[in-house]
Copies of this chain bind each other. A is one copy, B any other.
Amino acid sequence: DFMNAIDEVRPAFGVSEDELATCLQGGIIHYNSYVDQILREGQLFVEQVKKSERTPLVSILLHGAPSAGKTALAAKIAIDSGYPFIKLVSPEAMVGMNEMSKVSYLSKVFMDAYKSTLSVVVLDNIERLIDYVPIGPRFSNTILQTIQVLLRKQPQKGRRLMILATTSSRSVLSQLDILNSFDGELGVTNVGNHDELAHILKELGSFDSREIQATTRELEMMTGTKKLSVGIKKIILGVETALQDEDKCGRFASVMSRAVREARIVYDD
């Protein structure tokens, strides 16, 4: 039954759009210009892979704070590429596998990709894929080396491959000396101020204009600033929790102010 479980996670050839769709459950809200810029640059690389004769392989790293929206943006670029082969490699798909199975799984995905003329592979959450933990630090060097080589392995003649990887620990990847293996990087930023926050709340539709104003005003009083640095995923979660409370605005403000405080603690480190 455990082996069956592994079988279940083996995807059909080239089809990973369902998985990518669940990464986009919250949609893409265009709450500032960086969001558009990342998507535009992503599209540029998509074109380069499709057209250039000299660079049939291009690998890009999306990095940013936890919950900043990295996975969703990578998924968006991949889906919008229109390539025939699209595949998401995520830690969730490898639960319960041992090191060697994970390596086989990774190799298999890329061998499949090399069979298509035009492919995109998303390597989500690299530090989790390699089982990284800061105490030690410990990680699977076997998986790391596999990824590092796959990032550089040229597809056969006539085949083209784009690799999109995400991480919330760029500095760890730097220490692991793997940044050199990427051809480009895209930085994903947190939601940065109350205007962007208001934009998001409006789009989500659970607060009306008055409530948005009330909430941001309360948040400003609590934090003493109109700035913040919170990932979009945390904002969406906070909205949902707030919806269970009678005092929707009050609870959302209090949840956000706690997130703001935690971000500050991290900055002080």
B-side contacts of A175, CB under 8 Å = 134-135
Q: At the interface, is chain A mostly helix, strand, loop or mixed?
A: helix
- Report if A5 contacts B (CB, 8 A): yes
Mark out the residues of chain A between 27 and 71 whose CB falls within 8 Å of any chain B CB in the assembled complex: 44-45, 47-48, 51-52, 54-55, 58, 66
- Report if A138 contacts B (CB, 8 A): yes
B-side contacts of A111, CB under 8 Å = 5
Q: Are B145 and A133 in contact (CB under 8 A)?
A: yes
**Interface window among A88-96, A191-199, A212-220, A221-229:** A88-96
B-side contacts of A44, CB under 8 Å = 241, 244-245
- Interface bracket on A: 35 or more
Mark out the residues of chain A between 86 and 112 whose CB falls within 8 Å of any chain B CB in the assembled complex: 91-92, 94-96, 98, 100, 103-104, 106-108, 110-111
Give Cα A174–Cα B136 distance, bound, in whole angstroms.
14
Q: Which of chain B's residues has its CB closest to A101's CB?
A: B2
Give Cα A245–Cα B136 distance, bound, in whole angstroms.
44
- Report if A141 contacts B (CB, 8 A): yes
Give Cα A268–Cα B25 distance, bound, in whole angstroms.
44
Q: Are A54 and B66 in contact (CB under 8 A)?
A: no
Give Cα A133–Cα B98 distance, bound, in whole angstroms.
21
Going nearest first, the 3 A-B pairs with the smallest beta carbon separation are A96-B107, A52-B240, A92-B153
